[in-house]
Structure 1
Amino acid sequence: MSQIEKTNVYNRERSKTQVKSTVLKKTSQALAALMIVSMLLPVLAFAGIKFDVNGLKYDKYSKTVSGSVYVTKDTYKENSNVTFGVYSDSDLKNVLDATYSAPFSKTTVDGVTYYNFNINLSSSNVPDTVYVQTYYGASYGIGNVYDLVYVQNSGKEPYYPSSGSYGPGGGFGGSFINNGVIEVSGDSVDAFTLERAFENSKEVKIKIKGEKLAMPADVLAEALKKGAISVTIINDNGTITLPLAALKLEALAKELGAELKETKINVTIAKVTGTADEDVTKAVYAAGGNPIATAVDFNVTASGNSKSVNVDFGNTYVSRTLNVNKNLDAKKATGALYNETTKKLSFVPSTFESKDGQTVATLKRNGNSIYTVIEANKSFEDLASHWSKADVEMLANKLVVEGAADKQFQPDRNITRAEFAALVVRSLGLNSVTANTYFTDINGSSWYAGAVATASQAGLINGYEDNTFRPDAQITREELAAMIIRALSYAGVASNVSESNQTQLLAKFKDSSKIVWAKKEIAAAVNAGIINGLTDDTIGSAEKATRSQAATMLKRYLKLADFIN
C-alpha cells in the first residue's frame, strides 16, 4: 500500500472514530531543558516520525495548530511519547507552546500508526508563521531524531524538509543557514530552508559539499515575484550565479509538461577528470597557452514529469568563478570554453581579481559547457613598433584575434565583413549556429558561414537590400562601429544617445555629413570612447577599416562591457 493510500485509509478511520484529542501542557522552560539535554546525549533512533503535511493546518485567529504525524511499524513502540514544540522563529528559541507525553487519538493502518493532534496555543501573541517540531520515542530529557515543518496562517502548503528526519545539530533536512549562507550536505535544498533564505536576502548563496544541487522551481518563482534577484551555488570547484529572471521557470515547466511545484532546477559544478581532462590540457597547449586552473563542467538543467531539458539563458550572461592556482597578469590570461566536439578552446568573457592571496577568475557566458583558465604570451614580428601592439597582443592572449600568418598579424591590412563578423561572435563567446541561408551569397561550406549565421541570429549584422551579405567586401569604419554598438547592446550595456547629443558629438567632425546610415551608432561609439576620429576633425566613416583598428575597437568595447580587465 502506498503512503497516499495509507493516509487516505487513515483519514477515513479518523472520521469514524471522532476521538477528541487531549493535550497535556508543559512549560516552555521544560521543553527548553529537554532540548538542551538532547543536544548532549546520544541519539536513540533514526527516522521514527514524520508530519502528514497534507492535513497540517495553522489558524492564527483561533491560535490552533492541528494535523497528524505517523510512525512506521519498525519504529512504533506502544508506550512511546510524542512531543511537540511550536515556535515563532526559525532559530527555534521562542516557544509559543509545548506538549509532552500526551495522549492522542491514534489509528494504525497497515503497520503505520497515525497520531492526530490539536494544539491550542497558550501564548497571548501569535505570528503569521509558526515552526512545528515533534519528537517520538524519547524519555524525558533524552534526545531523539525529530521532524520539523513550517506552517503559514494563509493556508499555503506547509514546507517540508527534504530528508524527513533530523538529529541534534543535523540541520534542516541536510540544509541549514549559517551566516546568511545555506549549507547543504546532500544533493538538494529543501523548500523550507530556501524560502527562509529569500525572506532575508534577495541574493541567496548555497554552499554544497558535492557537485550537484536540485532546487524547487516553485520557491524560486515565488522569490522572483517578491523581488529576489539571484541564487549562487558554491562548491570547492567553483561558483555559478543564476539570475532568477533568466531561468524562465514557468516556460521550463510548460516545456517539461509538469507543474511548477513538480519542477526542479538542477545545477552541476563538476571537476573534469580522466580522458576529458587530458583532452582539455591538450587543447590548452594547442592554443598556445598554459593551464592555470582546473577544468570544470558547469551545467544547469530543469527536470520534471520524468523529463529533463537544458536551461537556455537567452542573452543573459551568467557568471561563474574558478580559482586560479597562481598570480597572473590579466592581460595574458583568459577564461576559455572547451568544445567537446571540436576539442578546441575559445574565448570566454572573463575578469580577474586577487583577494586574500587567491586569484579568482569570473567567467561570463550564456550557456552550459566545460570551462578553464589559461595563460599565454603571444607576440607578432610585424607589431614590434606598431601603435596597436599592446591591444592586439592582449586579444591574441585571450583567443579573440589570431595571426594572419606565422608570427605575422598584418595590422594595416583591411579587414573583410566576414572576418569582422567572426571576431564579434568570438568576442561575445557565442555558440556557432548551424549555417543556413540567411543571405543568398553565403556558401554553407565557407569558413565564415557559421559565424555569419550566428551574428545574424544575434542581431549583430544586417545584409543589403538585395538580401546579400557581401562577406569578402572590406568593412568600412561606419559598418564596424555599427557592429560594435550592437555587440555592446547584446552584452547588456546601454549606449544610445539622444538626437541632440548625436548632433553635438558629431559636430566636431567636418566630414560627418558623409555618414550614410549609421549616424546614431557612430555617435554612440564616439560617446563611449570606442571610436576616435581619423584626425582631430575627421571621422572617416567611409574609410576601410584595418585589422589593427578592428582589434583596438574590440578591446575598448570588451572593457566597457566588463568582459576583460
Structure 2
Amino acid sequence: RVTGASGANAVSLTPFTSLAVSAWANASRYHASGGWGGAPAASGDGKSESGSVLSVKPDKAKLLEQLAAAEGAPVTIDAGARSDSALKQIIVELPGEVWLKAAEAGSAFVVRSDQALLTIPPDAFAIESAATPVKLTVTMSQEAPGKPSYAGLASPVFDFTLQAGGRTIDAFDKNVTVLLRYDSAKIGDAAKTGIYVYNAPAGRWEYVGGKAENGAIQVRLSHFSSYAVMEWNRTFDDIAAHWAKTTIERMAAKQIADGMTETAFAPEATMTRAQFAALLARTLKLPPGAKELPFKDVPPDAWYREALAQALTAKLVNGVSDTAFAPEAPVTREQMALMLMNAYGYVRGAKSQLPTNAPAFTDREAVSDWAKDSVGQAAGLGLLEGNPDGSFEPQRQATRAQAVTVLHRLLDHMEK
C-alpha cells in the first residue's frame, strides 16, 4: 500500500464519465434501496466474526468450481451481512491457487460488503506461486485526519490494503474499480461530492473523482490508500453574490479551481495564460509532461511549470513564439477557444470533424484566422457564448470566473 499517495495517481473511471452503478455485467450490483444484488456469491463463504473484525476465507474447492463455471465472468465474494458501526475491519483471504486460476480464466474477483464493492482484475498484480496467499484488508473509521472544516464526511474512511504472501502491493498493473456507498442525507449538492484520498505526508485530502448517484460513487484506482466520500463545500468571501458562485464552488470541490488567497477567488480578475494552462491540466488530469520546456520566459521554479509541461506535451497549448509562452499575459477569448477545443480533441478525438456552427457573431471578421474554427466549434458546443449585442469580442481578456465556467461546461459536456 502506498500510504498517503497523492490522488493524482488515481484514475477516474473514464476521462470524464463514471459508469452507472449497475454497469457490472455478471457481477454484483448496488441498488438504491440499500443492498447489493446480482450474481450469486461464492458458496462456502467461510465467514467468521470476532468483535469488530469480519474474516472471510472462502472454501478453495467451491471457488475453483465457480471459476470453472464462470467462463471468464467475475466471481463474487460476499463480505457483507454486517453494516453496524461495531464493524471496523474486513479481511478476505484467497489461496494462491485460486488467484492463478482466476488469472488463467480471465475472471475478476468482486468483493462486496455492505458499504463497498471492489472489482479486482486477475491481472491487477502477479503472485509468485500457488503457495502465495492473497489478502485484502478493509479498515473502516469515522476519523478523517486533516479534513478541512468545510468538507462533510458522507461515508466511513476506508483504508484498503492488498497483500500477496505478506508483500504489500504498492501499485496495480491494472486498475481496481472501487464503489463506495454514502449517506445521501449528509449530501446537499451531489456535484460537490466525490471520493477523496488522504495524502498523509502533506496532511491533506485530495480529489480522486467519481459521480455521486443513487447513494453510491465509484472510481478506478491504480493503488490503495485511505479513501472517503466527502462533500467539499469550499467557498470564497468575494463570490457570495457572484453569478458564477455555484460553478466556482463545484470546480473548487474537484480541486480544479483555487483561490488567489485562502479567502478570495478574485472572479473578475483577468485569467493569465499560465493559470488557464494549469486549469486545463487539472481538468483533464493529464499525465506528466516533458521535463524540458522551450520557453525562455518560464522560470524553472514557476508554480505552473509542471502543469504547463503537461498541457504542452498533450498539445493543448502553444507559445506566442517558439521560445516564449507569455505566462503572465491575460488569456483572450479566442485563445481560450483554441485551448478548449484542443482539450476537447484530446479527450474525444477528431476535433477537426466538428461542424463550425457558431452563431453569426457581428464581429466574426475580428476573429484571428488561427482561431476561427475553434471559436465556431466552441460556440456550437455551447462552451462559449457571445454578448447580448451579438458580438464575441475575440481579443477581450477572459476573467477568472469566465475561464472556470467554460471548463465546467466542458466537463458537463464530456459526461453526456
The percentage of aligned residue pairs carrying the same residue is 25
The equivalent residue for 2:268 is 412
Return the letter of the residue paired with 1:238. A
Deviations for 1:37-70, whole angstroms, at most 9, x for unmatched residues?
Answer: xxxxxxxxxxxxxxxxxxxxxxxxxxxxxxxxxx
CA distance in structure 1 between the partners assigned to 2:342 and 2:137 by the alignment: 32
Q: Tell me, yes or no, if the aligned pair for 1:182 and 1:197 is still in contact at 8 Å.
A: no
CA distance in structure 2 between the partners assigned to 1:416 and 1:400 by the alignment: 15
- Gapped runs of 5+ residues in structure 2? 1-36, 46-55, 81-89
State the shift of 1:460 in Å. Answer: 4.2
Return the letter of the residue paired with 1:548. A
Q: Tell me, yes or no, if the aligned pair for 1:482 and 1:518 is still in contact at 8 Å.
A: yes
- When the two chains are superposed, the root-mean-square deviation of aligned CA atoms in Å is 4.3
CA distance in structure 1 between the partners assigned to 2:258 and 2:411 by the alignment: 17
CA distance in structure 1 between the partners assigned to 2:324 and 2:105 by the alignment: 47
* Structure 1 residue 282 corresponds to structure 2 residue 138: no
The equivalent residue for 1:508 is 360
CA distance in structure 2 between the partners assigned to 1:376 and 1:284 by the alignment: 10
C-alpha distance 218-480 of structure 1, shift in aligned 2 (>3 A): farther
Please, which of 353, 370, 379 is the counterpart of residue 526 of structure 1? Answer: 379
CA distance in structure 1 between the partners assigned to 2:59 and 2:371 by the alignment: 51
The equivalent residue for 1:344 is 204
The equivalent residue for 1:311 is 172
* Structure 1 residue 238 corresponds to structure 2 residue 116: yes
CA distance in structure 2 between the partners assigned to 1:410 and 1:439 by the alignment: 31
**Greater strand fraction, Structure 1 or Structure 2:** 1
State the shift of 1:547 in Å. Answer: 0.7
The equivalent residue for 2:66 is 193
* Structure 1 residue 271 corresponds to structure 2 residue 139: yes
The equivalent residue for 2:155 is 293
Return the letter of the residue paired with 2:212. F
State the shift of 1:373 in Å. Answer: 2.0
* Matches for 1:66-77 after TM superposition, within 5 Å: none
Please, which of 391, 399, 403 is the counterpart of residue 550 of structure 1? Answer: 403
C-alpha distance 368-525 of structure 1, shift in aligned 2 (>3 A): farther
CA distance in structure 2 between the partners assigned to 1:262 and 1:457 by the alignment: 43
CA distance in structure 1 between the partners assigned to 2:71 and 2:65 by the alignment: 10
* Matches for 1:119-134 after TM superposition, within 5 Å: none
State the shift of 1:408 in Å. Answer: 2.5
* Matches for 1:66-145 after TM superposition, within 5 Å: none
Q: Tell me, yes or no, if the aligned pair for 1:235 and 1:269 is still in contact at 8 Å.
A: no
CA distance in structure 2 between the partners assigned to 1:451 and 1:396 by the alignment: 17
The answer to which structure, 1 or 2, has the higher relative contact order (CA under 8 A, 6+ apart) is: 2
Q: Counterpart of 2:309 in 1: which secondary structure? A: helix
The equivalent residue for 2:28 is none
Return the letter of the residue paired with 1:422. A
Q: What's the TM-score, normalizing by structure 2?
A: 0.66
The count of residues paired between Structure 1 and Structure 2 equals 349
Deviations for 1:305-326, whole angstroms, at most 9, x for unmatched residues?
Answer: x99662255xx8x653222235
Q: What's the TM-score, normalizing by structure 1?
A: 0.51
Deviations for 1:267-299, whole angstroms, at most 9, x for unmatched residues?
Answer: 8563366xxx85xx232126x323222222456
Return the letter of the residue paired with 2:39. G
* Structure 1 residue 321 corresponds to structure 2 residue 148: no
The equivalent residue for 1:180 is 39
* Structure 1 residue 389 corresponds to structure 2 residue 241: no
Q: Counterpart of 1:351 in 2: which secondary structure? A: coil
CA distance in structure 2 between the partners assigned to 1:389 and 1:336 by the alignment: 22
Larger radius of gyration, structure 1 or 2?
1
State the shift of 1:402 in Å. Answer: 2.3
Please, which of 293, 309, 312 is the counterpart of residue 438 of structure 1? Answer: 293
Please, which of 284, 298, 309 is the counterpart of residue 453 of structure 1? Answer: 309
State the shift of 1:383 in Å. Answer: 2.5
Q: Which has the larger displacement, 528-537 or 183-192?
A: 183-192
Q: Tell me, yes or no, if the aligned pair for 1:198 and 1:204 is still in contact at 8 Å.
A: no
CA distance in structure 2 between the partners assigned to 1:387 and 1:481 by the alignment: 21
C-alpha distance 467-188 of structure 1, shift in aligned 2 (>3 A): farther
C-alpha distance 353-529 of structure 1, shift in aligned 2 (>3 A): same
Q: Tell me, yes or no, if the aligned pair for 1:267 and 1:300 is still in contact at 8 Å.
A: yes
Return the letter of the residue paired with 1:295. V
Q: Which has the larger displacement, 541-550 or 203-212?
A: 203-212
Return the letter of the residue paired with 2:275. E
CA distance in structure 2 between the partners assigned to 1:352 and 1:462 by the alignment: 35
CA distance in structure 2 between the partners assigned to 1:266 and 1:541 by the alignment: 59
C-alpha distance 352-344 of structure 1, shift in aligned 2 (>3 A): same
Q: Counterpart of 1:284 in 2: which secondary structure? A: coil
C-alpha distance 406-343 of structure 1, shift in aligned 2 (>3 A): closer
Return the letter of the residue paired with 1:310. A
* Structure 1 residue 401 corresponds to structure 2 residue 257: yes
- Gapped runs of 5+ residues in structure 1? 1-177
Q: Counterpart of 1:362 in 2: which secondary structure? A: strand
